[in-house]
């Protein structure tokens, strides 16, 4: 057999991404592929530029199918009209595969007009050709042309396939469009297909129609892990964390394949549920299924979960077990630490020579919250500028907050002024910086400036303003903030209304606090507690106890904070019977070992003159907090039981409890009274 000669290059080839397409000599073996596209190479290695490709093809008797064989290598848009004209001029009939290929090339590189003309003028097209063009319009979210092409496809007599419908789903954004596509899927009989099923669930959940997504999921009969994972992601996206975890557990119990996608989705919602044990169980499942090896997304989700839950040791363990931590891993780890520990991790990241992103810098800057790390903060600032992150508004916002936390308000203002495109977070960061550092007047000036430049305030804006004046008893400014909140509709939010109730209480405007409370549509425990505390602070103790009774009669939950406040109200009124009733409720609710509740009960009995009841209550409490010991020692001292007070102090030391400053405040008085007794 004659040995074929190895030529350095074939006489004429069209290369497509390292793939050789033989166009003249199909039997010649090529030495190596050529990655450069749109060039014709001759034996003398003389290169012709892409502008002469068409002429070269015609001179060498190449046919139109040879052009289509190169597919996406023809990325020069200037060539496309030439190719199209050449096809028309040659009158060479294209088969449906060649037509589909050219439609795909024209559409992919943005020449949609030629793609349309070729598709509509080709006598022999198939569904694949139409899908190519619909897919391009779906990618750019042009629903008008996507649905128009879908209608034209059906009018030609061709039948849409699963890919057509799944592509159309990608283009559907509004609820009406999704429902229209859903109807077509039902009509064409693709309801039980995994691609269309998961697409419908995903689209409905993204549109906020979780009920319709659940209906599609329930009607899907096949046990498809992709469909289940999509439903889990839909629950997570819409904040239904409990349903997401429940469905994940059901999926696993049915023996379905748990993929990295379903595992990542459910891990992201564990933090919102505060279910640390479930997170650890999912971690174990991931290890068992081998999803922690080779899937960085799962490891990063685990790392993020542990960091946000405060489990630093577990987060570090996950990080160290990763084969190749990426920048997402390092960024999540930075978020787990504060202060010097975060700086230490950041230095290790710098040594790894890994390319950082803006989120890495934000986490590093957020860890600096005191003036002792000001030097490190300035170094990070310099690094941000050097790496080109200074133009990122999110990084600029972190710089403003960092300097405010270091009490360098001038540097914070400078970083704010140097921000080119400020968003509402920028304004909130500057406003919060002024409020935290005691510059309430400048905070209000910034708020006025913010309104003048038409930046709409958020909840964080009003929280910062209210916190800035909370300890200043600024009644007039509080009323002004209240007026702005009413105007913008923020009083409908329970958390910000609760903050306003607290500030009014500190300003002794208890009637204003009451007014805000009764304007809240859905009252919660926190808002109730805020009003009870406002009553106690204003010495309206009877009103506080009355509101507490209203809480008991309603469905609003009572927590340990509520009990500690109302016990103080009973103490102030020396209402022993009322105090005993509250004590019984505390025992029934299981809050007696809370350090604030326990010490308040002891203090109540002591100030109501029932030292024996105080001693009994003390003996039933857990002795793990110093507040209860202090309350009992002070109670003995106030009732002249100095021997008992000193005995309890010695017992406190014997049981390993460390006294604090409050403990020692009562002890000298006990010694003084004992000396007076002995001298008498």
Domains of the chain: 1-94 (no CATH), 223-325 (1.25.40)
- Residue 8 pLDDT grade (very low, low, confident, very high; cuts 50, 70, 90): very low
- pLDDT of 462 higher than 70: yes
- pLDDT of 63 higher than 80: no
pLDDT of residue 473: 72
Question: pLDDT tens, 69-114?
Answer: 444 444 455 565 666 666 666 666 666 666 777 777 777 676 777 7
Whether 70 and 21 have beta carbons less than 8 Å apart is answered as yes
pLDDT of residue 624: 62
> Of 407-416, 619-628, 670-679, where does mean pLDDT reach its minimum?
670-679
CA angle at 46 for the pair 43 and 49, rounded to the nearest 5°? 130
- pLDDT of 568 higher than 60: yes
- pLDDT of 44 higher than 70: no
Cα–Cα distance, 633 to 399 (Å, whole number): 49
pLDDT of residue 375: 92
- pLDDT of 11 higher than 80: no
Averaged over 150-168, what is the pLDDT? 85
Top-confidence residue, 15 or 300: 300
**How many CB atoms are located within 10 Å of the residue 643 CB?**
13
Whether 13 and 23 have beta carbons less than 8 Å apart is answered as yes
Question: pLDDT tens, 120-145?
Answer: 777 667 788 788 788 878 887 888 88
The helix or strand, by DSSP H or E, that contains position 354, with its residue range, turns out to be none
pLDDT of residue 12: 35
> Of 50-54, 267-271, 588-592, 617-621, where does mean pLDDT reach its minimum?
50-54
pLDDT of residue 434: 92
pLDDT of residue 425: 93
> Of 59-68, 401-410, 480-489, 560-569, where does mean pLDDT reach its minimum?
59-68
Question: pLDDT tens, 31-42?
Answer: 333 333 334 333
Show Cβ contacts of residue 200 under 8 Å, excluding neighbours closer than 6 positions. 169, 178, 181, 182, 185, 213, 216
Question: pLDDT tens, 312-355?
Answer: 888 888 888 888 889 999 999 998 888 888 999 999 999 988 89
Averaged over 470-492, what is the pLDDT? 81
- pLDDT of 300 higher than 50: yes
Long-range contacts at 579-585 (CB < 8 A, ≥ 24 apart)? 579/604, 579/605, 579/608, 580/613, 583/617, 585/558
Whether 495 and 459 have beta carbons less than 8 Å apart is answered as yes
**How many CB atoms are located within 10 Å of the residue 62 CB?**
19
pLDDT of residue 35: 36
Question: pLDDT tens, 641-679?
Answer: 878 878 887 888 777 777 766 666 655 555 455 444 444
Top-confidence residue, 98 or 552: 552
Distances 11 to 2, 254, 272, 278, 619 between C-alpha atoms, Å? 20, 61, 65, 65, 100
pLDDT of residue 55: 54
- 271, with CB counted inside 10 A (0-12, 13-18, 19+), is middle
Averaged over 254-276, what is the pLDDT? 80
Question: pLDDT tens, 347-390?
Answer: 999 998 889 999 999 999 998 888 888 999 999 999 999 999 98
pLDDT of residue 277: 78
Question: pLDDT tens, 422-445?
Answer: 999 999 999 999 988 889 889 989
**How many CB atoms are located within 10 Å of the residue 81 CB?**
13
Question: pLDDT tens, 207-263?
Answer: 889 889 989 888 887 778 888 989 999 998 888 888 888 898 888 888 888 888 888
Residue whose C-alpha is closest to residue 499's, from 536, 444, 460: 460
pLDDT of residue 358: 92
pLDDT of residue 125: 73
- Average of per-residue pLDDT values in the chain: 79
Show Cβ contacts of residue 542 under 8 Å, excluding neighbours closer than 6 positions. 573
- Residue 554 pLDDT grade (very low, low, confident, very high; cuts 50, 70, 90): confident
pLDDT of residue 372: 87
Whether 468 and 435 have beta carbons less than 8 Å apart is answered as yes
């Amino acid at each position: 057999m004659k040995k074929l000669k190895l030529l350095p290059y074939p006489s004429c080839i069209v290369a497509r991404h390292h793939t050789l397409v033989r166009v003249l000599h199909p039997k010649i073996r090529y030495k190596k592929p050529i990655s450069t596209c749109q060039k014709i190479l001759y034996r003398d290695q003389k290169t012709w530029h892409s502008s002469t490709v068409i002429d070269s093809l015609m001179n060498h008797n190449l046919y139109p199918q040879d052009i289509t064989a190169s597919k996406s290598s023809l990325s020069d848009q200037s060539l496309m009209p030439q190719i199209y004209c050449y096809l028309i001029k040659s009158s060479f009939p294209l088969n449906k595969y060649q037509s589909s290929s050219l439609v795909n090339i024209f559409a992919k590189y943005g020449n949609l007009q030629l793609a349309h003309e070729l598709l509509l003028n080709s006598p022999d097209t198939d569904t694949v050709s139409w899908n190519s063009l619909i897919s391009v319009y779906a990618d750019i979210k042009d629903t008008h042309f996507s649905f128009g092409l879908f209608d034209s496809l059906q009018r030609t007599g061709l039948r849409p396939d699963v890919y057509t419908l799944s592509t159309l789903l990608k283009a559907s954004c509004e609820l009406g469009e999704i429902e229209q596509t859903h109807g077509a899927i039902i009509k064409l009989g693709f309801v039980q297909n995994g691609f269309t099923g998961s697409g419908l669930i995903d689209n409905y959940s993204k549109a906020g129609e979780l009920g319709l997504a659940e209906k599609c999921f329930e009607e899907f009969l096949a046990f498809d892990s992709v469909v289940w994972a999509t439903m889990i992601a839909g629950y997570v996206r819409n904040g239904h964390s409990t349903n997401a975890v429940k469905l994940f557990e059901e999926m696993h119990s049915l023996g379905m394949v748990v993929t990295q996608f379903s595992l990542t989705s459910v891990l992201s919602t564990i933090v919102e549920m505060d279910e640390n044990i479930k997170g650890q169980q999912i971690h174990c499942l991931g290890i068992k299924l081998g999803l922690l090896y080779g899937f960085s997304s799962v490891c990063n989700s685990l790392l993020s979960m542990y960091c946000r839950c405060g489990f630093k040791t577990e987060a570090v363990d996950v990080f160290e077990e990763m084969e190749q931590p990426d920048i997402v891993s390092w960024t999540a780890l930075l978020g787990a630490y504060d202060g010097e520990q975060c700086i230490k991790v950041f230095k290790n990241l710098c040594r790894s020579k890994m390319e950082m992103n803006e989120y890495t810098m934000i986490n590093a800057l957020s860890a600096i919250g005191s003036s002792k790390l000001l030097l490190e903060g300035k170094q990070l600032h310099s690094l941000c500028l050097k790496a080109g992150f200074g133009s990122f508004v999110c990084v600029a916002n972190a710089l403003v907050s960092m300097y405010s936390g270091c009490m360098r308000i001038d540097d914070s203002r400078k970083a704010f002024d140097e921000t080119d495109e400020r968003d509402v977070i920028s304004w909130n960061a500057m406003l919060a910086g002024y409020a935290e550092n005691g510059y309430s007047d400048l905070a209000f000036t910034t708020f006025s400036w913010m309104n003048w430049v038409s930046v709409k305030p958020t909840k964080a804006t009003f929280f910062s303003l209210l916190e800035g004046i909370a300890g200043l008893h600024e009644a007039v400014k509080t009323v002004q903030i209240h007026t702005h909140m009413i105007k913008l509709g923020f009083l409908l939010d329970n958390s910000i209304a609760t903050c306003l109730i607290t500030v009014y209480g500190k300003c002794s405007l208890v009637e204003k606090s009451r007014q805000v409370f009764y304007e809240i549509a859905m009252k919660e425990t926190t808002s109730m507690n805020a009003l009870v505390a406002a009553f106690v602070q204003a010495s309206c103790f009877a009103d506080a106890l009355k509101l507490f009774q209203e809480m008991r009669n309603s469905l609003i939950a009572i927590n340990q904070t509520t009990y500690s406040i109302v016990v103080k109200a009973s103490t102030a009124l020396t209402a022993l019977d009322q105090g005993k009733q509250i004590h019984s409720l505390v025992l029934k609710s299981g809050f007696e070992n809370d350090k604030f509740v326990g010490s308040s009960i002891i203090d109540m009995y002591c100030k109501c003159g029932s030292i024996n009841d105080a001693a009994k209550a003390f003996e039933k409490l857990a002795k793990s907090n110093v507040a209860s010991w202090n309350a009992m020692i002070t109670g003995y001292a106030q009732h002249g039981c100095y021997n008992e007070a000193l005995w309890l102090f010695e017992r406190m030391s014997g049981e390993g409890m460390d006294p604090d400053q409050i403990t020692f405040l009562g002890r000298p008085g006990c010694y003084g009274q004992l000396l007076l007794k002995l001298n008498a």
